[in-house]
Amino acid sequence: MPELTPEEREEIIRRRGCRSDKDGEVHRISNLEIHHKDRNPKNNDPHNLRVLTKEEHDDLHRRAGY
């Protein structure tokens, strides 16, 4: 699969109610990102994707060392 387009990213976030998978709160789409659990940006299986705020996503990558 190719990497997500901006339109696909936005659709995934909207389908999940604009909620972070970590804190469960509703956020603006512009503050949400898609995290690939397996670190493969081409693996867009829904089970591999998490919706996180930019801060949560940055923190996850920082703690994981990537």
Domains identified in the chain, total number: 1
Encode 8-25: b = buried (16+ Cβ within 10 Å), e = exposed: ebbebbeebebebebeee
Mean pLDDT of the region 58-66: 93
Mean pLDDT of the chain: 96
Is 60 a domain residue? Answer: yes
pLDDT at 1 over 90: no
Please state the pTM of the whole predicted model. 0.91
**Residue 1 included in any domain:** no
Range of the domain at 17: 6-64
Of 65 and 44, which is predicted with more confidence?
Answer: 44
pLDDT band at 30 (very low <50, low <70, confident <90, very high): very high
In this predicted structure, the answer to whether residue 28 has a pLDDT above a threshold of 80 is: yes
With respect to residue 58, please indicate whether it lies within any of the assigned structural domains: yes
